[in-house]
């Protein structure tokens, strides 16, 4: 079962005044935001491994790269194939950009 995240909206002026009257200045202090700053980023070590594999084996696709990383990690997946392509290789400009499709869906010469 997953933990539920509770959303607490920002306080109003009347609520802040009540906090100040009951708890003093400490009640008005800024609350720490518990949300992660970059929750979906991949570890830099994994990104480096993907980039190194791609430069060594440029013909390998996203699935083969993801499987090679999983094989080195006792077959436990580190990244999904789509993450390999979208977040790592496209950001590093190591993934070829597709040709623009023609108006009717075919590829332009």
One digit per residue, pLDDT tens: the chain, 109 residues?
A: 566 777 777 888 888 788 778 877 765 666 676 666 776 778 899 999 999 999 999 999 999 999 999 999 999 999 999 999 988 999 899 998 877 766 666 665 5
User: Chain centroid to CA 71: how far?
Assistant: 22
What residue has token string 């869906």? 105
**Rounded Cα distance, 70 and 42, in Å:** 14
- The secondary structure of the chain in percent helix, strand, coil, rounded to multiples of 5, reads 45, 0, 55
Domain spans of the chain? 44-89
By C-alpha distance, which of 43, 90, 52, 50 is closest to 67? Answer: 50
Evaluate whether 17 touches 25 at the Cβ level (below 8 Å).
no
């Amino acid at each position: 079962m997953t933990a539920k995240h509770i959303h607490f909206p920002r306080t109003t002026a009347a609520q802040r005044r009540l906090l100040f009257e009951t708890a003093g200045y400490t009640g008005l202090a800024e609350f720490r935001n518990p949300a992660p700053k970059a929750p979906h980023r991949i570890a830099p070590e994994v990104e480096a491994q993907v980039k190194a594999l791609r430069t060594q084996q440029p013909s390998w696709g996203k699935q083969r790269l993801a499987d090679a990383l999983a094989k080195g990690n006792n077959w436990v997946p580190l990244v999904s194939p789509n993450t390999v392509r979208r977040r790592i290789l496209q950001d590093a400009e190591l993934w070829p950009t597709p040709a623009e499709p023609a108006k009717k869906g075919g590829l332009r010469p």
